Structure 1
Amino acid sequence: MESPLALYRRYRPETFQEVIGQEHVTEPLRVALANNRVNHAYLFSGPRGCGKTTSARILARALNCELAPVADPCGECDSCRDLARGGPGSIDVIEIDAASHGGVDDARDLREKAFFAPVRSRYKVYIIDEAHMVTTQGFNALLKLVEEPPPHLRFIFATTEPDKVIATIRSRTHHYPFRLIPPRLLSSYLSELCIQEGVSIEQAALPLLVRAGAGSARDTLSVLDQLLGGAGPEGVTYALASGLLGYTPDTLLDEVVDAFAAGDGSAVFGVVDKVIETGQDPRRFTEDLLRRLRDLVIISAVPDAPATGLIDVSEDQGERLIAQAARFGAAELSRAADIVATGLTEMRGATAPRLLLELICARVLLPGADHSTDGVLARLDRLERRAAITGSPSDAVAAPAPASAPAPAQDRPAQSRPAPREPEAPAPVAAPEPPPAAPVPPARPVEVVPETPEPQRAPEPEPAPATAGTSVLSLVDVRRLWPDIVEATKQRRRVTWIHLTQHAQVVAVDAATLTLGFSNAGARESFDNGGSPEIVRQAAIDVVGTDWKVETIVDPGASADVPPPPPPATPEPVRPVSSEPVAQRAEPDGPPAWMSDDAAPAEPEPPAAAKPDPVSVGAAREAIKGTRPAGAGADSGPDLAAADADAHPDDLDADSDELGGADLLARELGAKIIEEIPNK
């Protein structure tokens, strides 16, 4: 039993009405045939597989039909049967492949035979395929014949590159440019062929076939023929088409696009790893990702693009694309598509395509590091989407703390501690040089604040009425807003903020519950027992406007979604210069008392008018060591024991490191020795 012919041969059109996607060519030809206004030479040009040679054969059949002049061949006469699909052919219709017969000798042979009259038909028709392969000498040999042929002779040139046909030949022909077949029309044609073949095909597989055929009817039918040969009882499925044609499955593309929308780098690079582990080509994945981003850009501009046919996708996939496009902004999508397009160009001929693919993904994930216009617009898109999700811009996190909130530790006055005694008039030691940083703010009056069991909490804002009590946010939306929620917990309790930035991430969300996954059981227990779930609930109300019940689970694969920022440097308070001797005592085991949360505020620096004049270095050294006050005589030094008894309990040993006078003054006072005056 013989195998059937290929699909593109079994379904080759026999009339102009059967030719699809070329109405701009077939209709004028049908009118010319019906009116008997046929030219002696034609030039059919266009991409491969779009119907040039087929249309040339139909034109030859119509010219030699016994019913001519007629728009379409009858299919009943001897000439029509000879030139029909599967027919023996006609001796008066000669097809020449110019790729192998394009020399000057072949042109001379054609010219000699062309003057003989047709054997059985009205016209002798020469169909010269791949006409751009004819040499210049061959065209010159045919030029006179094409310009002034005998009445029984007709020429039809078919080529994919009409510019390579010399101008003198083109000027003597009627030029008909063929085009690629539109995808929507080609999809309908494939569905009809599958019905005629008795094989079912999934609608999701049709776009893959059309894409593989690239608008060429012959190439598309060849791909369909291959899939029909390998189809099982269920017919041509999407899995069969994507696997056989090598395209990236939609599930992977959906996963990576959702990860880009949520800024989830772990999920993005996980998809890249899947691509490599499954043996897929990174270049093909990048090309498919670019095509997906292109679809999202169009949907972002035209939301009903899938329904109107602007994008040729199945109905369910169109809904997914609309949902994905809503998670991005137009500028962010355009920037991502530009990055992927540039990376795809760089991947051609690259020896490490996976490395380039990972770099492309890293650039897409980091619009904050892109200082170009596209990067700024991408960040604005994120802010606008966040405002659209929450109902109002989530700038409450960056707002200053209310007046009733507790002040930072370094600014709170001392609690349950005696007020420092007023220092005596300091003796002149050295002229401290003002620091180059910003000036010290004016001193505030010191007041004793009674110790309270818990600082008063700022009044909580009311949740947004549109979403209070319920959540319409997806997991991707919550992960996008999670950094703001974590930052809001920092304003309420720092321990909760540390737990969230180091051990937790969002693993699930529904209308009433927000589930956090912790990397270990100890971190989860500490979080729950410390009352942190309530802190997170209040922060979510402030930022999102949704009242969630916060639940926790142990997720060994969990990692912090938000890296903790480095703690701000605590400025060292400015201490006044005192004439009293510094008590000699051992350094405490812990940090100095003035660095604790309940330390007293820094005492004000003396005004500039009261700064002492420079004195001798020797007097300054002795004053610091406690042997005598600066500027005093040799016999006027105070008693060391009395000085120790009278020293303030928080005073530190100024020279515990035995640095010496000049270094010690620079370290403790920021002073600079201007001039040393010897003692007299």
Structure 2
Amino acid sequence: MSGSTGTVCGVALALYRKYRPATFSEVVGQEHVTDPLRTALAAGRVNHAYLFSGPRGCGKTSSARILARSLNCAKGPTPDPCGECNSCIGLAPNGTGSVDVVELDAASHGGVEDARDLRDKAFYAPAESKYRVFIIDEAHMVTTQGFNALLKIVEEPPEHLIFIFATTEPDKVLPTIRSRTHHYPFRLIPPGVMRTLLERNCAAEGVAVEPAVFPLVIRAGGGSARDTQSVMDQLLSGAGPDGVKYERAITLLGVTDSALINDVVDGLSAGDGAAVFGTIDRLVDAGHDPRRFASDLLDRLRDLVLLCAVPDAADRNLVSAPEDELATMAAQAERIGPATLTRYAEIVHQGLVDMRGATAPRLLLELLVSRMLLPSVSQSEAALLQRLEQLERRPPAAIAAASGDSAAPAGGPVFTRRSQQATEPAPADPPRQPEPQRPAPQSATVRPAPQPVAVIPAPAPTPTPVAAPVQAQPTAPVATAAPSAPVAAPAPAPIAEAGAMDATAVRRIWSELLAAVRSSSRSTEAMLTNAVVSEVDGNVVTITHTSAPLARRLAEPRNTEAIAAALSAVLGGTWQVRCTHGTPGATPQAAAPAKASRPAPVRPSQAQNARQPEPQQRPAPRPPVDDVPPPPEPPEPDDPLPPEPDDEEAMLAEAARPADPDSTPEAKDPESVMLKLLADELGARPLKKA
């Protein structure tokens, strides 16, 4: 070997062999391993077995040889071998070796016979050194039988014997062997440290290398010192008089030219499909692999994302690129933005997965960039859906207040109907006789569909009454169109005191109100079973219950305060609650039990349904109230509840009747209901009847 030329018999020595470290101080990027080993050697605390693990080419075998050299040095054990004794000369990186240091490749000698042969040699004393060192490379390739053959000698070796296992997969080493060793994990070398190593070796070789070449070589090496130096050795071998040029490097390494990547990124940022697909065409014509281009594009997107998140990523060695390239990348990152860059990176990553084993990689690459050119609509769709859901959950009063109607003063009701019906009992329509469907009268007021304002129902045609009560006329006249003129859609009436509610609007959010009451008082929520909102006057809400005892209980301050707090939680603002006894359709002044001769009142929703009947429905015939009680209505908030029973115990049973038809008989018993309410108030378990 010639030290000046680095050749052996005319063959050039590889860089990773020529510049292999000879001491622990020369090992780069593994200070977390070399420093503890140097400290242990200096203190003389030498273990009988070591396990070096880590990725390939990161210095495991070289460190094992350095450890053997430090142990067998004439001045050893020492962290710094002298390099002059026979052991140091023989165990040098390019030395001839030592008879007392045995290096075994377990990839080809991992059987049980090789392990037995090694075990037999272990008992011989060293020939000229202090220790016999067995270096077993690729230790994970040793079979289970081979490890079992070595187990006894590794557990209790002679004083002169030391084992050093090196492996890339420590989990495959027999646990009984691994537990008897000192384990030192090696890591990949960071890019900054690797660049310093390459620059030092290239300077020692006397070859000029352009700065833009080093990031390409480091990326190709993947953090492995041996692989990175092999790539640089290839470039140095083909270097001309001017040294290693960037153009020659990208040609030999198959790396995509940064100009092509810049063209694609700029085309994507501008939405220029012609530029993007034209660049792909030039890429394929130049013979580049579409898969490699996609991988390089993903690396560029990663660098751009880091530049967005960390502006000084280049100073922290998070991004490695030439100065002029860094300026271009910073401009691209600022122009595109982190969200779009992240979406691009996800699309490219998925495209790389699809390209594995693909027969038409160019086609997949073109489809990949076409997806990147499309705008991202997923976020906007999600935002729109969330907005719609929020609007659906909001009460009508909040929607009316958010509409920004300038004609609506704050604090007024949402609905335009403000008549004498709110303060006086309104006579109800008599029961209707079966009659054929007829179109809605032209005198009905027509309102635009998008407006959340309720219209004033016009008086429906009154059929022949059984008991002829006097039909009260509404105090507020309704403007109607002429019979011969087409029906015109007048402008919506202004909303007076926007932000308030009426009884119908409160009934719509009755389930939410019950849930809010349940959070503060379960007994109050139970007593609201058959209650209904009968009137809303300003901020005073009147609740009517069919049971007189429960109505009195609900009128207690603690129950009304709980209901008012629930109203404030659901609707906002400050509310007052009154609880009365009577039928749901009656006003507070007429809270006495309804007589059989008095028909049930008709609410605006029923009047509107009568004015605009569905084509497929006919009004059900109602018998006279003097003969048969009215049939039960569907479970809607606006429909009247059954008449009040005369017996108080029956009223309690009716009020406590659960909505579930499969409820137990015990739940229908009024005494059990009262016991349950009492237990809820006291915070104890329900009491049982004797």
Instruction: Give the TM-score normalised by the residue count of structure 2.
Output: 0.55
Residue pairs, 1:305-384, within 5 angstroms: 305-368=313-376, 370-372=377-379
CA distance in 1, matches of 2:383, 2:288: 34
Q: Structure 2: which amino acid aligns with 1:224? A: M
- CA-to-aligned-CA distance 1:79-134 (integer Å, 9 cap, x gap): 10111122111000000000111111111111111101011111000000000000
For the 8 Å contact 1:180–1:215, the answer to whether it is kept is yes
Q: Structure 1: which amino acid aligns with 2:270? A: A
- CA-to-aligned-CA distance 1:646-673 (integer Å, 9 cap, x gap): xxxxxxxxxxxxxxxxxxxxxxxxxxxx
Q: Are residues 1:124 and 2:117 paired?
A: no
For the 8 Å contact 1:92–1:119, the answer to whether it is kept is yes
CA distance in 1, matches of 2:383, 2:373: 14
For the 8 Å contact 1:39–1:174, the answer to whether it is kept is yes
Go from structure 1 to structure 2 and tell me whether the alpha carbon gap of 1:290 and 1:373 turns closer, same or farther (over 3 Å shift): farther
Q: Are residues 1:206 and 2:214 paired?
A: yes
Q: Which residue does 1:158 correspond to in 2? A: 166
Q: Structure 2: which amino acid aligns with 1:100? A: S
For the 8 Å contact 1:335–1:375, the answer to whether it is kept is no
Displacement after TM superposition at 1:609 (Å):
3.6
CA distance in 1, matches of 2:379, 2:343: 10
How many residues matched?
390
CA distance in 1, matches of 2:256, 2:40: 47
Q: Which residue does 1:51 correspond to in 2? A: 59
Go from structure 1 to structure 2 and tell me whether the alpha carbon gap of 1:152 and 1:361 turns closer, same or farther (over 3 Å shift): same
Q: Which residue does 1:60 correspond to in 2? A: 68
Q: Which residue does 2:90 correspond to in 1? A: 82
Q: Structure 2: which amino acid aligns with 1:29? A: L
Q: Which residue does 1:17 correspond to in 2? A: 25
| Counterpart pick for 1:264 among 261, 272, 281 | 272
CA distance in 1, matches of 2:163, 2:49: 4
Residue pairs, 1:414-493, within 5 angstroms: none
Structure 2's unaligned 5+ residue stretches are 1-8, 385-446, 449-480, 487-690
Displacement after TM superposition at 1:376 (Å):
7.6
Go from structure 1 to structure 2 and tell me whether the alpha carbon gap of 1:109 and 1:255 turns closer, same or farther (over 3 Å shift): same
Q: Structure 2: which amino acid aligns with 1:323? A: A
Q: Which residue does 1:186 correspond to in 2? A: 194
Displacement after TM superposition at 1:274 (Å):
1.1
Q: Structure 1: which amino acid aligns with 2:242? A: E
Identity %: 65
Q: Which residue does 2:484 correspond to in 1? A: 610
Q: Are residues 1:229 and 2:237 paired?
A: yes
Q: Structure 2: which amino acid aligns with 1:610? A: S
Q: Are residues 1:144 and 2:18 paired?
A: no
Go from structure 1 to structure 2 and tell me whether the alpha carbon gap of 1:362 and 1:68 turns closer, same or farther (over 3 Å shift): same
SS of 2:196's equivalent in the other structure is helix
For the 8 Å contact 1:247–1:288, the answer to whether it is kept is yes
For the 8 Å contact 2:100–2:126, the answer to whether it is kept is yes
SS of 2:314's equivalent in the other structure is helix
SS of 2:166's equivalent in the other structure is strand
- CA-to-aligned-CA distance 1:353-381 (integer Å, 9 cap, x gap): 1111111111111115x33469989xxxx
Q: Which residue does 1:548 correspond to in 2? A: none
For the 8 Å contact 1:146–1:169, the answer to whether it is kept is yes
Go from structure 1 to structure 2 and tell me whether the alpha carbon gap of 1:30 and 1:46 turns closer, same or farther (over 3 Å shift): same
CA distance in 1, matches of 2:170, 2:12: 35
CA distance in 2, matches of 1:199, 1:337: 37
For the 8 Å contact 1:335–1:374, the answer to whether it is kept is no
Q: Structure 1: which amino acid aligns with 2:164? A: I
SS of 1:157's equivalent in the other structure is strand
Q: Structure 1: which amino acid aligns with 2:76? A: A
| Counterpart pick for 1:284 among 285, 292, 311 | 292
Go from structure 1 to structure 2 and tell me whether the alpha carbon gap of 1:329 and 1:114 turns closer, same or farther (over 3 Å shift): same
Go from structure 1 to structure 2 and tell me whether the alpha carbon gap of 1:254 and 1:375 turns closer, same or farther (over 3 Å shift): farther
CA distance in 2, matches of 1:181, 1:375: 43
Q: Structure 1: which amino acid aligns with 2:484? A: A
Displacement after TM superposition at 1:611 (Å):
5.7
| Counterpart pick for 2:80 among 72, 84, 100 | 72
230-239 or 54-63: bigger deviation: 230-239
Go from structure 1 to structure 2 and tell me whether the alpha carbon gap of 1:4 and 1:339 turns closer, same or farther (over 3 Å shift): same
CA distance in 1, matches of 2:248, 2:291: 21
SS of 2:52's equivalent in the other structure is strand
CA distance in 2, matches of 1:190, 1:167: 38
SS of 1:175's equivalent in the other structure is strand
Q: Structure 2: which amino acid aligns with 1:162? A: P
Q: Structure 1: which amino acid aligns with 2:66? A: I
- CA-to-aligned-CA distance 1:3-42 (integer Å, 9 cap, x gap): 2211111111100000000000001101111111010000
| Counterpart pick for 1:169 among 169, 177, 188 | 177
For the 8 Å contact 2:54–2:187, the answer to whether it is kept is yes
- Could you list the runs of 4 or more consecutive aligned residues of structure 1 that deviate by over 4 angstroms after TM superposition? 372-377
CA distance in 1, matches of 2:113, 2:380: 62
Q: Are residues 1:295 and 2:307 paired?
A: no
For the 8 Å contact 1:93–1:125, the answer to whether it is kept is yes
Displacement after TM superposition at 1:66 (Å):
0.5
CA distance in 2, matches of 1:183, 1:23: 15
Q: Structure 2: which amino acid aligns with 1:2? A: G
Q: Structure 2: which amino acid aligns with 1:222? A: S
Go from structure 1 to structure 2 and tell me whether the alpha carbon gap of 1:283 and 1:62 turns closer, same or farther (over 3 Å shift): same
CA distance in 1, matches of 2:236, 2:124: 47
CA distance in 1, matches of 2:46, 2:355: 51
Structure 1's unaligned 5+ residue stretches are 378-437, 440-606, 613-680
CA distance in 2, matches of 1:110, 1:611: 113
Residue pairs, 1:235-274, within 5 angstroms: 235-274=243-282
For the 8 Å contact 2:191–2:317, the answer to whether it is kept is no
Go from structure 1 to structure 2 and tell me whether the alpha carbon gap of 1:327 and 1:151 turns closer, same or farther (over 3 Å shift): same
Go from structure 1 to structure 2 and tell me whether the alpha carbon gap of 1:375 and 1:160 turns closer, same or farther (over 3 Å shift): farther
CA distance in 2, matches of 1:76, 1:229: 33
For the 8 Å contact 1:44–1:175, the answer to whether it is kept is yes
CA distance in 2, matches of 1:105, 1:193: 42
CA distance in 1, matches of 2:247, 2:109: 44
For the 8 Å contact 1:367–1:376, the answer to whether it is kept is no
Go from structure 1 to structure 2 and tell me whether the alpha carbon gap of 1:373 and 1:237 turns closer, same or farther (over 3 Å shift): farther
- CA-to-aligned-CA distance 1:144-195 (integer Å, 9 cap, x gap): 0000000010000000000000100000000000000001110111011111
Q: Structure 2: which amino acid aligns with 1:197? A: E
CA distance in 2, matches of 1:275, 1:223: 23
SS of 1:610's equivalent in the other structure is coil
Go from structure 1 to structure 2 and tell me whether the alpha carbon gap of 1:319 and 1:307 turns closer, same or farther (over 3 Å shift): farther
Q: Structure 2: which amino acid aligns with 1:27? A: D
- CA-to-aligned-CA distance 1:604-656 (integer Å, 9 cap, x gap): xxx884369xxxxxxxxxxxxxxxxxxxxxxxxxxxxxxxxxxxxxxxxxxxx
SS of 2:315's equivalent in the other structure is helix
